[in-house]
Amino acid sequence: MRHMNNSRRFAPFASLRAALAAAILACSFPAAAADSILTAPAPTPPAAPAPSFWDPNRTPERPDLSGLRQIRFLTEDDYPPFNFLLPDGQVAGFNVDLARAICVELDVACTIQRRRWDLLIPALNDNSGDAIIASLAINDETRKQVDFSGPYMMTPGRFAVQADTPLKSASPTAFADRPIAVVAGSRHEAFLKAFYPQSKLITFETPALARNALKNGHVQALFGDAISLSYWLNGAEAAGCCVFRDGPFTDPKYFGEGVGIAVKKGNAPLRRTLDYALARLAQRGVFAELYLKYFPVGPF
């Protein structure tokens, strides 16, 4: 997820860009050390093949679409697997396919315009587009500038371990006194300090260095961004070395509220229409198909 200061929550993607694009093109569609702190928040059970951000028991009410003829989506092209350029110069990715699916669901025309990241909200506010679908994080800062649909993706934290590890659990007890790789100063480090105080945190400047430490056996686990880790685990760089263990962890205090589709402040009709379309895509299984297309090793 991305913040308006242009920082990237999925920083490891920069080094994996070419590999990710190739993999996607190959797919078919579809603190204190007191013992009382040792109980970590219960992870969300990873039973379903795709996450759901919508109430399956609630049938969304179809909005009045009589005045809606077109949705002009705004995105960018440098944030794989969500937005990236194909060899022919066309923009592609999870967000792009989701935008197209929304327009099919609503039976309206759809355009997708590329903008530089820092120009997305200005373009929305000067009426050059109707909605931003670019993995924009929902937070206090962005809410001051735009309104959001409900979240359609989150960035959970997860543990990765070597495939042949005898560790069967990623609980604080199982990881007590064991070295865990984590990026220095990250929200993942803050989470471990709060809930894994007896573990030995080995900090690294970059996610790539942390991944290499796990692959080479210098640490017994790595805690980080589940989405970038999922692609690493599925790619040639990892070479089958490692697997997820337990999780995902989705505490918004550490891992945010997710990303949503942004609309101009006060544009409640379009916001409600997008919420309806997203819920319908989830009910019909279209969202799950897109998720499995772009996330073959599920981060959830």
Band (61; pLDDT cuts 50, 70, 90)? confident
Residue 2's pLDDT is what? 57
Judged by average pLDDT, the poorest of 41-45, 61-65, 282-286 is 41-45
Band (37; pLDDT cuts 50, 70, 90)? very low
In sequence order, what are the residues at sequence separation of 6 or more whose Cβ sits closer than 8 angstroms to the Cβ of residue 110?
70, 71, 73, 99, 100, 102, 103
Residue 59's pLDDT is what? 75
> Cα Rg for the chain, rounded, in angstroms?
20
Q: What is the CATH number of domain 35-43+156-254?
A: 3.40.190.10
The span from the CA of 124 to the CA of 141, in Å, is 16
Q: What's the CATH superfamily of 48-154+257-294?
A: Periplasmic binding protein-like II (3.40.190.10)
Count CA atoms within 13 Å of residue 6 on its CB side: 7
In sequence order, what are the residues at sequence separation of 6 or more whose Cβ sits closer than 8 angstroms to the Cβ of residue 142?
3, 4, 136, 148, 262
Q: What is the pTM of this model?
A: 0.80
What are the tens digits of pLDDT across the range 143-199? 999 999 999 999 999 999 999 999 999 999 999 999 999 999 999 999 999 999 999
| Distance, CA of 209 to chain centre | 21
What are the tens digits of pLDDT across the range 73-83? 999 998 888 99
DSSP element (H, E) containing 136:
strand 131-137
Band (130; pLDDT cuts 50, 70, 90)? very high
Averaged confidence pLDDT in the chain = 86
Spatial contact of 296 and 22, defined as CB atoms under 8 Å apart: no
Residue 277's pLDDT is what? 97
- From residue 31, give the alpha-carbon distance in Å to each of 171, 176, 196, 243, 277: 17, 15, 9, 28, 43
> What are the DSSP calls for 63-115, one per residue?
P--TT--EEEEEE-SEETTTEEE-TTS-EESHHHHHHHHHHHHHT-EEEEEE-
What are the tens digits of pLDDT across the range 241-282? 999 999 899 999 999 999 999 999 999 999 999 999 999 999
Domains 35-43+156-254 and 48-154+257-294 share a fold: yes
Q: Which of 60, 87, 79, 80 is nearest to 272 (CA)?
A: 60
**133: number of Cβ within 10 Å:** 29
What are the tens digits of pLDDT across the range 200-210? 999 999 999 99
In sequence order, what are the residues at sequence separation of 6 or more whose Cβ sits closer than 8 angstroms to the Cβ of residue 126?
none
DSSP element (H, E) containing 204:
strand 200-204
Domain boundaries, the chain: 35-43+156-254, 48-154+257-294
pLDDT surpassing 60 at residue 51: yes
